[in-house]
């Protein structure tokens, strides 16, 4: 197998201007603090060179332009791992939490001002870091892009548009799409959030349940149900808020899917799960992004999770 690698983001066909660190005027020649009128005039004269974000440190929406201004070194913060992580193209993720006074965080009582960080990497090449701040009146979001692939030195994504980073990973070529800050609410504010992975059930220690008479079907069902908790339930929780859909929480997952017709106006007609027939099951079709079902999850995945597709297939076949 070819060694996995990540293509440098300089070849990004981006919908937004790239941050061109290397083309910045020599340090000390010119430092623009905010965009004051004289600074703008200088920008105009020197062209974009003097006006890259390298020199522009003004916070936007309360978040600084540089990640290290928020946390100098994420690796020094407490980290955690949810029991049922969200799949994102197979990327490695690291998650950190920082309370305002540095005391340990507890899922039951998260103080205002707490920061959550989630960093995405492929084979050690860091792509992006997403941040949620627990605000007075709801969550605040920021996304930082790691232009050089290193953990340090990330800059806030420009306010206009998503960003595609070409990646070669595990022998597959695809674009890792960095979502825009306006897309976070689709998952983080659809009835379960805002914090989705730092919750009591996600942090509980899940001992692998091994029943004496545990059969293969039960084991498959448990694995599928767990996966769904981490990857679907933030929207599929039956809460009725905008963006939410039918309930797939563990207690009702089987009852609401097996032999149940679809209800969503936006999706294919049929049964969510046809016992014994994965190919005819809308849930499976949606999972592998096969028409006419709308691909599920509807955002955040550019490279489908084949291993879990096989698991869902095997579970439906076993019914």
Interface residues with ligand HEC (CB under 6 A)?
82, 85-86, 95, 116-118, 130-132, 141, 143, 179, 181, 183-184, 186-188, 190, 195-198, 230-232, 234-236, 243, 245-246, 262-267, 272, 282-283, 286-287, 296-300
Contact between 104 and 84 (Cβ < 8 Å):
no
Min dist. Cβ of residue 70 to ligand HEC (A):
12
Residues 6 or more apart whose CB falls under 8 angstroms from that of 2 comprise: 171
Rank residues 30 and 93 by Cβ distance to ligand HEC and give the closer one.
93
Min dist. Cβ of residue 152 to ligand HEC (A):
18
SS3 (DSSP) at 248: coil
Rank residues 152 and 203 by Cβ distance to ligand HEC and give the closer one.
203
Min dist. Cβ of residue 211 to ligand HEC (A):
26
Rank residues 6 and 134 by Cβ distance to ligand HEC and give the closer one.
134
* Tokens found for residue 174: 């695809």
CB neighbourhood size of 264 (10 A): 14
Rank residues 116 and 315 by Cβ distance to ligand HEC and give the closer one.
116
Contact between 28 and 173 (Cβ < 8 Å):
no
Q: CA–CA separation, 50 vs 31, rounded Å?
A: 8
Rank residues 20 and 199 by Cβ distance to ligand HEC and give the closer one.
199
Min dist. Cβ of residue 21 to ligand HEC (A):
22
Q: CA–CA separation, 116 vs 132, rounded Å?
A: 5
Rank residues 153 and 230 by Cβ distance to ligand HEC and give the closer one.
230
Min dist. Cβ of residue 274 to ligand HEC (A):
12
Min dist. Cβ of residue 51 to ligand HEC (A):
25
Q: CA–CA separation, 168 vs 156, rounded Å?
A: 24
Q: Which residues pair with 307 in a beta bridge?
A: none
Would you put residue 170 in left (φ > 0), alpha (ψ -120 to 50) or beta? left
Contact between 283 and 246 (Cβ < 8 Å):
no
């Amino acid at each position: 197998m070819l060694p996995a690698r990540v293509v440098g983001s300089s070849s990004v066909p981006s919908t937004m201007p790239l941050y061109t660190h290397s083309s910045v005027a020599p340090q000390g020649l010119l430092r623009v603090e905010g965009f004051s009128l004289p600074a703008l005039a200088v920008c105009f004269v020197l062209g974009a060179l003097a006006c890259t974000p390298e020199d522009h440190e003004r916070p936007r929406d309360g978040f600084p332009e540089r990640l290290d201004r928020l946390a100098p070194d994420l690796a020094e913060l407490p980290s955690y791992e949810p029991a049922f992580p969200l799949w994102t193209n197979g990327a490695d993720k690291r998650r950190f939490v920082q309370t305002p006074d540095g005391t340990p965080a507890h899922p039951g009582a998260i103080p205002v001002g707490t920061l959550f960080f989630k960093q995405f990497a492929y084979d050690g090449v860091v792509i992006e870091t997403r941040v949620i701040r627990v605000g007075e009146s709801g969550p605040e979001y920021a996304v930082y892009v790691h232009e050089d692939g290193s953990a340090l030195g990330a800059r806030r994504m420009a306010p206009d548009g998503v960003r595609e980073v070409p990646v070669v990973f595990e022998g597959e070529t695809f674009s890792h799409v960095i979502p825009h800050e306006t897309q976070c609410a689709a998952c983080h504010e659809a009835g379960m959030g805002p914090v989705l992975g730092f919750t009591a059930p996600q942090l509980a220690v899940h001992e692998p349940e091994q029943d004496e008479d545990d059969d293969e079907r039960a084991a498959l069902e448990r694995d599928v149900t767990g996966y769904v908790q981490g990857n679907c339930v933030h929207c599929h929780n039956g809460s009725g808020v905008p963006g939410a859909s039918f309930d797939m929480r563990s207690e009702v997952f089987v009852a609401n899917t097996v032999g149940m017709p679809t209800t969503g106006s936006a999706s294919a007609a049929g049964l969510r799960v046809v016992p014994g027939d994965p190919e005819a099951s809308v849930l499976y079709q949606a999972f592998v992004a096969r028409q006419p079902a709308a691909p599920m999850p509807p955002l955040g995945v550019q490279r489908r999770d084949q291993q879990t597709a096989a698991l869902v297939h095997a579970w439906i076949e076993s019914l």
